[in-house]
């Protein structure tokens, strides 16, 4: 499984971020512009995930996104797990939208 640090993903031009956290988690804090598909609905919404570029997968700490990354790879999608999830993203001082901002 490919992995990338939050800083690497933030620095990548036009990186497509897929957030697989639950809706309440996503509402509390998110990376602006991230696509949101909760892990529990990923199988039925697979056709919404881009196949023409790498997809960087994020969750809270990296566990659920690792599962999603493996699933996406098994379905022919280039997927990269973001290490540390949104917690790591925030700890690295990268921009996060909190609540309804």
Catalytic residues: 59
CA-to-CA separations, 50 to 9, 15, 29, 61, 99, in angstroms, rounded:
16, 11, 23, 23, 26
- First and final C-alpha spacing in the chain: 34
Closest CA to 70 of 84, 83, 89, 57: 57
As beta bridge partners, residue 36 has: 19
């Amino acid at each position: 499984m490919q992995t990338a640090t939050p800083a690497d993903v933030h620095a990548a031009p036009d990186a497509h971020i897929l957030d697989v956290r639950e809706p309440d988690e996503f509402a509390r804090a998110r990376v602006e512009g991230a696509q949101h598909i909760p892990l529990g609905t990923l199988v039925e919404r697979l056709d919404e995930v881009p196949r023409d570029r790498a997809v960087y997968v994020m969750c809270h700490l990296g566990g659920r996104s690792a599962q999603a990354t493996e699933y996406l790879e098994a379905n022919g999608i280039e997927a990269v797990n973001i290490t540390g999830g949104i917690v790591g993203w925030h700890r690295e001082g990268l921009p996060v939208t909190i609540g309804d901002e």
